[in-house]
Amino acid sequence: MGPILTRTIIASIVGIASVSSGTTISIRPDADAFVRSQAPTSNYGGGGALSVSGAAAVNGSGQQNGAFDTLMRFSMSDAVSTLDAALGQDWIVTGARLVVTEMAIPDSEIFNRGVGQFEIFWIGSDNWIEGTGRPNAPTNDGVCWQDLPAILNSNVVSLGVFTNAAANAQISFPLKLAEQLMVDLRSGGEVSLYLTAVSPDMGFTFNSRNFGNTNAQPFLEFSAVANPRATINSIVFSNLNAIVSFDTISNWNYCVLSADKLSGPWSNAFTMPAQLTNGHASFSEAAPHSERYFKLKVSPGNTSSEF
């Protein structure tokens, strides 16, 4: 599999910073809303808070308010030029995380409380409407609980299971770099996330994009680096040995895989941990067969790409 090449577009850029010769960009949502099971036709897209809750959770008075789910959408319309300018026109995404500010004691009794697990999904549907409803004044002009079956009927991919903190603090959730998420980034369109409870008694409330303090609003953060474009320079066969040579770029791990057939199975033949400077590497492997295949795998941090 080749590297995940991204031409990501983003709007509402919160910040840009260089990290290990890469770039990190933060994006605020252009729409977000929570929905609740006990008010299946009500919209709450205009409020200052979002919530994820299990059906058995209770509020501060010990009352159950039913299950809550949250939808968030991020526009990727301006990022290609930003990342092209910083890294050149060939770069890859190496990390993504959702950052929110949790409220341990929500102002409204509509919100449940409790520590527990919830799951974040990438969803293929981006055409839901945020609406203008609030906890104390719901409307019917946007997404509501009864719309979820249609919204989730498209492609849905888990980006991880997480736990809230039940504290007044900023909290971040590192997201799995699923291929569907990367395709959305490359297309330069919209990226929608769906948050739903795993633990039945958890209640997680956090600030929305409508919260008054912009520093406490949620954002999606992506890290990208210039594509290392690692290639095997030469393979020389001598005395039933294969000598494989390749160039290396600093801050990347390298692994050469080998196989007797192009279809595999492939096995690790040589590994080289990340170095502080660019360089060159080579290794020798016994190759008594008439054919031997090699490929190079590069891994920055917790992601990997094969070339």
**If pLDDT is split at 50, 70 and 90, which confidence band does 227 have?**
confident
The per-residue pLDDT for range 145-157, each reduced to its tens digit, is: 999 999 998 789 9
Q: Is residue 16 pLDDT above 60, yes or no?
A: no
For 112-124, write each residue's pLDDT tens digit. Answer: 999 999 999 999 9
Higher pLDDT, 168 or 298: 168
Note if the bond before 29 is cis, omega within 30 degrees: no
Token couple for 244? 């494989």
Which residue from 163, 199, 161 is spatially nearest to 55, judged by alpha carbons?
A: 199
This prediction's pTM:
0.76
Whole-number mean pLDDT of the chain? 85
CATH architecture entry for 232-306: Sandwich (2.60)
> What is the pLDDT at residue 131?
98
Percent above pLDDT 90 for the chain: 51
Intervals of CATH 2.60.40 along the chain: 232-306
Q: How far apart are CA 271 and CA 209, in angstroms?
A: 45
Strands (DSSP E) found in the chain: 13-19, 22-27, 31-36, 49-53, 68-75, 91-101, 117-123, 156-163, 170-174, 190-197, 203-207, 219-226, 232-238, 241-248, 253-259, 267-272, 279-286, 293-299, 305-306
pLDDT-derived band at 165 (thresholds 50, 70, 90) equals: very high
pLDDT score for 305: 41
Q: What is the pLDDT of residue 8?
A: 25
- The whole-number pLDDT of residue 100 equals 98
* 210 pLDDT tier (thresholds 50, 70, 90): very high
pLDDT for 6 beyond 60: no
The Cβ-side half-sphere exposure at 21, using a 13 Å CA radius, reads: 14
140 pLDDT higher than 60: yes
